[in-house]
Amino acid sequence: MGTSTRYITTPIYYVNDRPHIGHVYTTTICDAWARFQRLSGHDVFFLTGTDEHGQKVEQSAEARGVSPQELADENSEEFRRIMGMFNLTNDEFIRTTDPRHEQQVQSLVKRLMDSGDVYLGTFEGWYDAGQEEYYTDTKANEVEFVSPISGKPLERASEQNYYFKLSAYEDRLRKMFDDHPGIVRPDARRNEVLGRLREGLQDVPISRTNFAWGIGVPGADEHVIYVWIDALFNYITALGLADSESQWHAQRAGYWPAGMQVIGKEILWFHAVIWPALLMALELPLPSCIYAHSFWISEGQKMSKSLGNFIDLEELQGYMEKYGSDALRYFLCTQGPLGATDADFSRSQFHETYTTDLVNTVGNCASRTSAMIGKYCDGLCPADTGECADGGVDWSDFTSAQVEAAIDSMERFDLSGSIAAAMTIVRRVDAFINETAPFKLAKDPEMAAQVGDILYRCAEAIRIASCLLEATMPEKILELRDAWNLGAPTGDLRGECQWGRLAAGTAIEKVALFPRVESE
Ligand code: ME8
Measured in Å, residue 173 CA sits from the centre of ligand 1 at 24
3 state DSSP class of 384: coil
Helical spans, DSSP H, in 40-67 = 55-64
DSSP secondary structure of 226-279: -HHHHHHTHHHHTTTTT-TTSHHHHHHGGGPSPSEEEEEGGGHHIIIIIHHHHH
* One-letter amino acid of 4: S
Measured in Å, residue 23 CA sits from the centre of ligand 1 at 6
Ligand 1 interacting residues, C-beta cut-off 6 A: 11-14, 17, 22-23, 25-26, 51, 231-232, 263-264, 266-267, 295-296, 303
pLDDT, tens digit, 9 for 90 and up, residues 419-473: 999 999 999 999 999 999 999 999 999 999 999 999 999 999 999 999 999 999 9
Q: What is the mean pLDDT of residues 20-27?
A: 97
Name the closest-CA residue to atom 15, ligand 1. Answer: 22
pTM, to two decimals: 0.95
Contact 26, 262 (CB under 8 A): yes
Spatial CB neighbours of 496, under 8 Å, sequence gap ≥ 6: 467, 489, 490
Instruction: State the closest ligand 1 atom to the C-alpha of 50, by its place in the atom list counted from 1.
Output: 6
Question: Cα(451)–Cα(505) distance, rounded to whole angstroms?
Answer: 15
Looking at the predicted structure, is the pLDDT value of residue 3 above 60? no
DSSP secondary structure of 136-190: -HHHHHHTTTB-TTT-PBPEEEEEEEEEE-GGGGHHHHHHHHHH-GGGEESHHHH
Measured in Å, residue 497 CA sits from the centre of ligand 1 at 36
Spatial CB neighbours of 253, under 8 Å, sequence gap ≥ 6: 239, 240, 241, 244
- Kindly state the percentage of the chain with pLDDT values over 70: 99
∠ at Cα 261 (191, 417), nearest 5°? 75
Query: What are the φ and ψ backbone dihedral angles of 155, each rounded to 5 degrees?
Result: -110, 145
Question: Cα(85)–Cα(79) distance, rounded to whole angstroms?
Answer: 10
Name the closest-CA residue to atom 26, ligand 1. Answer: 264
Taking alpha carbons only, the member of 82, 516, 38 closest to residue 317 is 82
Question: Cα(235)–Cα(8) distance, rounded to whole angstroms?
Answer: 9
Strand order across the 133-135 sheet: 133-135, 118-128, 155-164, 204-205
DSSP secondary structure of 63-95: HHTS-HHHHHHHHHHHHHHHHHHTT---SEEEE
Measured in Å, residue 35 CA sits from the centre of ligand 1 at 22
Q: What is the mean pLDDT of residues 30-53?
A: 98
3 state DSSP class of 198: helix
pLDDT, tens digit, 9 for 90 and up, residues 191-248: 999 999 999 999 999 999 989 999 999 999 999 999 999 999 999 999 999 999 999 9
From 10, 15, 25, 293, the mutation candidate for ligand 1 (largest count of ligand atoms within 8 A of CB) is 25
Question: Cα(178)–Cα(186) distance, rounded to whole angstroms?
Answer: 15
CA 97 to chain centre: 23
* One-letter amino acid of 452: G
Name the closest-CA residue to atom 4, ligand 1. Answer: 13
Looking at the predicted structure, is the pLDDT value of residue 388 above 80? no
Question: Cα(173)–Cα(166) distance, rounded to whole angstroms?
Answer: 10
- Mean pLDDT, all residues of the chain: 95
Question: Cα(21)–Cα(85) distance, rounded to whole angstroms?
Answer: 13
The alpha carbon torsion through 513, 514, 516, 520 (nearest 10 deg) reads 150
Contact 441, 450 (CB under 8 A): yes
pLDDT, tens digit, 9 for 90 and up, residues 342-359: 999 999 999 999 999 999
Measured in Å, residue 263 CA sits from the centre of ligand 1 at 7
3 state DSSP class of 355: helix
Name the closest-CA residue to atom 19, ligand 1. Answer: 232
From 29, 261, 263, 269, the mutation candidate for ligand 1 (largest count of ligand atoms within 8 A of CB) is 263
Measured in Å, residue 189 CA sits from the centre of ligand 1 at 16
Q: What is the mean pLDDT of residues 165-188?
A: 97
Q: What is the mean pLDDT of residues 104-122?
A: 97
From 12, 20, 26, the mutation candidate for ligand 1 (largest count of ligand atoms within 8 A of CB) is 26
DSSP secondary structure of 387-415: -S--TT--HHHHHHHHHHHHHHHHHTT-H
